[in-house]
Amino acid sequence: MFVDNILNCVILGSGPAGYSSAIYAARAYLTPILYTGMEPGGKLTTTTCVDNYPGYPEGINGSKLMEKLEEQAKRFHTIIKKQEAVYFEFSTSHKMGVIHQIKNDYGNIIKTRGLIISTGTTPKYLGLYSEKRLIGFGVSSCATCDGFLYRAKNVAVIGGGDTAIEDTIYLSKICAKVYLLVRRGYFRASKVMQYRISILSNVETLFNYEIAEILGDKTVKGIRVVNNKTNKKKFFSIEGLFLAIGNTPNTQPLKGKLKMDDKGYILTEKVSTKTNTQGVFAAGDVQDPIYRQAITSAGTGCMAALDLERYLSIVK
C-alpha cells in the first residue's frame, strides 16, 4: 500500500537476502520494490554448484537457485527493477513517520518508510600495478566465470579460505595444473574443503607464499612469488591468476549515513537487522563479516522483512 506516493518497503540487492526479504515483505502486503543493483542475482550467479543450501539434496547451480528465488518473489508480486540506488537521504520527518529518500541511477527519487539494505560484497584485489593492468587479461576474481578460458593450461589461485579451495577444485577439472598460494602457514578454509583438494593430483598448494609480481605484457604469462618466512623466490609459468582473497561490503554510498565497522560492514542491533537509523534494516553479507553463507543471508533477509513489518505497525 502506498501513502502519498511513499512506499513501505524498498529492498536493495538481489542475492538470497534481498529475495528472501521480498518474499516475506510481499506476503505481509508491504508491496516491496526490489532494486537488483548492477549484478542481478548477486555472487551466487558466479558459483557452479551450491551443495549446502537446504532442500536441494543433489545440489543446485547458483544461477538456477537465484532464478528460483526471483520467481518466488515475483509470485507474490514483488516489483523488480534492474536499477541501482546511488544516493541516500535519511531521517526526513513526516506525519506518517520517518521517510527516507533514495536516488536511483536514472536520477529518480524514491520515497519510502522502510528500507532493507542487502547489497552484498565485492571481491578484493591485491593492489599490485601488474594486477590492475592485467585484469580481464588473465587476472580474474571469478573462477566459474573465466575458468573455461584456461582449458588444459596452468593457473594459480590466491587465498586460503573456502572460496580459494572451491575455485581450485573447479579449475582442477578444467586446467592442466593449479597452484594454490596461501600467505599463511595454514588454511582458513573448513576441514571438509581442505580434504577435497588434498586428493587432487593436479593441485600443488604452497603455504607462506605471496605474489611479488605478475608477468606478461598483454596477457598473464607467469608469476614471481616469494616465501614470506624464508624469502625464497619461485617463478611459475601460468596463464590465469584467480584471486579469492575476500570481499569488501558494498556500502560506499552509505558511508557516514549508517553506523558501520572499520571494514564497512553495516552494524545491526543484536539479534535483529535494525541499523542505527529508524526504518532502515540490513540483511545478508553487507552486515555479516562472519558467516556469509547463502542460507544465513536468506535468514537475515527474512528477519529484516519481519523487523520492518513490526516497525511499520508501531509507527502507523
Contacts with ligand NDP by CB under 6 A lie at: 52, 126, 158-164, 166, 183-184, 188, 210, 244-246, 292
Residue with cell 558467516: 291
146 annotated active-site = yes
Round to whole Å and give the CA distance between 53 and 280: 27
- One-letter amino acid at 98 equals V
Nearer to ligand NDP, 94 or 233 (CB): 233
Nearer to ligand NDP, 70 or 166 (CB): 166
Q: Are 308 and 9 in contact (CB under 8 A)?
A: yes
Question: To the nearest whole angstrom, how small is the minimum distance from the Cβ of residue 158 to ligand NDP?
Answer: 5
Return the number of the residue (246 or 253) whose C-beta is nearest ligand NDP. 246
Closer to ligand NDP by Cβ: residue 40 or 246? 246
175 classed as catalytic: no
Catalytic member of 4, 49, 105, 145? 145
The residue (of 165 and 308) whose beta carbon lies closer to ligand NDP is 165
- Residue in the shown chain whose Cβ atom is closest to ligand NDP: 161
Query: Among 285, 255, 257, which Cα is nearest to 273's?
Result: 285
Q: Shortest distance, CB of residue 14 to ligand NDP, whole angstroms?
A: 19
Spot the catalytic one: 146, 162, 167, 285: 146
- What value does the CA radius of gyration of the chain take, rounded to a whole number of Å? 22
Nearest to 244 by CA among 160, 145, 153: 160
Least Cβ distance, residue 277 to ligand NDP (angstroms)? 27
Angle (CA) 301 303 307, round 5° = 120
> Is 302 in contact with 17 (CB distance < 8 Å)?
no
CB 9 within 8 A of CB 25: yes
Residue corresponding to grid cell 539479534:
271
Is the CB of residue 222 less than 8 Å from the CB of residue 241?
A: no
Taking the least distance from each CB to ligand NDP, the nearer of 212 and 245 is: 245
Q: How many other C-beta atoms lie within 10 A of the C-beta of residue 5? A: 7
- As measured in angstroms, the least distance from the Cβ of 164 to ligand NDP is 6
Active-site residue, selected from the candidate residues 9, 49, 142, 285: 142
Residues 189, 161 contacting (CB under 8 angstroms) = yes
Query: Cβ 193 to ligand NDP, closest distance in Å?
Result: 7
CB of 188 to ligand NDP, least distance (A): 4
User: Does residue 19 contact residue 72 with C-beta atoms inside 8 Å?
Assistant: yes
162 is catalytic: no
Q: What are phi and psi of 102, to 5 degrees?
A: -130, 135
By annotation, the residues acting in catalysis are: 142, 145-146
